[in-house]
Structure 1
Amino acid sequence: MSRTPLRLDPSIRKYLLPLLKNDGFAGSGRTFRRIDHDAIHLVNVQGFSYGGRLAINLAVHPLDLPDMAGGPPSPKTIAEHQCEFRERLTEDDSGRVWEHDATSAGMDSAMRDAAAVYATHGRRFFDQFRGASSVLKTFDFDSFMVREPDLSRYCFGSWVRVAYVLARLRLVEGRIEEAKKFAHAALADATPQFAGFEELQRITNLAWQVD
């Protein structure tokens, strides 16, 4: 008789969850969320259908913007793929995958190491998006033009997407001149097929009317 495969959840509860709870995350299973200032932060443990591997996905989404599906972002149910900014937990520029042998000891070892990486690099990722000093609040147009910091790595590698998000945020915040600059920058490289093309045009037109 075949044996039911062991699950990652006990290892998550043992090694990763205590760190997440300490950082203000809540949830169960494999997805955990917190609200920080006006953004949702998310941590998701990803297993693989063929087993023996795990990864940890990190994500941030501004509460003031629709999620990637176009609906209002839900602090309790938003999924990683619905967030604007995403990163796979890693110590360098390539997302890391932890391998294990599908035993309790093997999964414990992988999750223990992943939790240690979260404690340094995962927290560092989220620190960029925390409080009034969040990069979503402070990232100015001059910094955008010199690509510092490199937010595009969290937005599908697309600087058009970064400019689009920042234009929408600045508009919500009433920072019309900045919204106009980011919208113009996005439109300089966006094609009409870009999902936010018409919205960028509206932002630009609205900004000119308000000047």
Structure 2
Amino acid sequence: MKDLLKELGSFIRTRGFKGSGQNFRKIEDDYVFVINIQGSRHGDVFFVNLGAQPAFVPAEGDVALHTIKEHECIMRMRVGNEWSWSLSGESVSDLTSAIDAAQSEFFGQVRMLRTAISEDTVEQLLQKFSTGTTHARAALHLSRAALALGRRDSAAALVEYGLSIAGDRAAGLIHDLRAVKIALA
């Protein structure tokens, strides 16, 4: 396990990420990209998680961007399903290829957020940027991004959509959506 984690860490750092252990970050322009290696509860497998946080959108819990972890990012995805700690040789190569492909596609998509907020409909935004979360929570994050970018009409449409689909028990989410709505007034 430790040898594989060390090998993955070395590979991830060659892609411009900084970090050690299980968390690696890279800051590009006004985005923070995170790769996390998460061990399973059972100990025999692990997961590779990607997170992206635009600096112009508040992070979950207002965490500092230089220490943000994948689960605190507003956009997240998993690379494949689960991976065995006993990977070796060709299987490690398959994993590193999967990480390369997934991070390139996912982080590339996130880099298009500014343009998408300006051009896309609510439905298109949710299709592109709701991976790893619910549509209601994605609507909150995207409304905050639209507000920060001065796209008030998009922000308002995203808030209304989020409020229309948030469940009755999503009190915190509803509160946060209403806070964006108040900021738009």
Q: TM-score, normalised by structure 1?
A: 0.73
**Aligned partner of 2:177 among 173, 185, 200:** 200
Confirm whether residue 64 of structure 1 aligns to residue 68 of structure 2. Answer: no
Matches within 5 A, 1:152-167: 152-155=130-133, 158-167=134-143
Give the Cα–Cα distance (whole angstroms) in 2 for the partners of residues 178 and 190 of structure 1.
18
* Matching residue of 2:160: 184
* Matching residue of 1:85: 75
Question: Number of aligned pairs?
Answer: 184
Q: 1:98 to 1:183 in 2, by over 3 A?
A: same
User: Higher strand share goes to which structure?
Assistant: 2
* Matching residue of 1:20: 12
Structure 1 counterpart of 2:94, one-letter code: D
Tell whether the 8 Å contact from 1:42 to 1:80 is kept in structure 2 after alignment. Answer: yes
Cα deviations by residue, 1:139-182 (Å, 9 ceiling, x for unpaired): 45753325663432321xx1111111111111122222221121
Structure 1 counterpart of 2:146, one-letter code: R
* Matching residue of 2:105: 124
Q: 1:108 to 1:55 in 2, by over 3 A?
A: farther
**Aligned partner of 2:144 among 158, 165, 168:** 168
Percent sequence identity is 24
Uncovered stretches (5+) of structure 1, i.e. residues with no partner: 1-6, 91-95
Larger CA Rg, structure 1 vs 2: 1
Q: TM-score, normalised by structure 2?
A: 0.82
Give the Cα–Cα distance (whole angstroms) in 2 for the partners of residues 206 and 56 of structure 1.
36
Cα deviations by residue, 1:77-107 (Å, 9 ceiling, x for unpaired): 22222122111102xxxxx112244xxxx45
Q: 1:22 to 1:36 in 2, by over 3 A?
A: same
Confirm whether residue 53 of structure 1 aligns to residue 29 of structure 2. Answer: no
Instruction: Specify the SS of the correspondent of 1:174.
Output: coil
Give the Cα–Cα distance (whole angstroms) in 2 for the partners of residues 118 and 34 of structure 1.
15
Task: Please report the RMSD computed on the Cα atoms of aligned residues, expressed in angstroms.
Answer: 2.6
Tell whether the 8 Å contact from 1:66 to 1:73 is kept in structure 2 after alignment. Answer: no
Give the Cα–Cα distance (whole angstroms) in 1 for the partners of residues 41 and 94 of structure 2.
21
Give the Cα–Cα distance (whole angstroms) in 2 for the partners of residues 83 and 129 of structure 1.
12
**Aligned partner of 1:149 among 105, 127, 135:** 127
Tell whether the 8 Å contact from 1:100 to 1:110 is kept in structure 2 after alignment. Answer: no
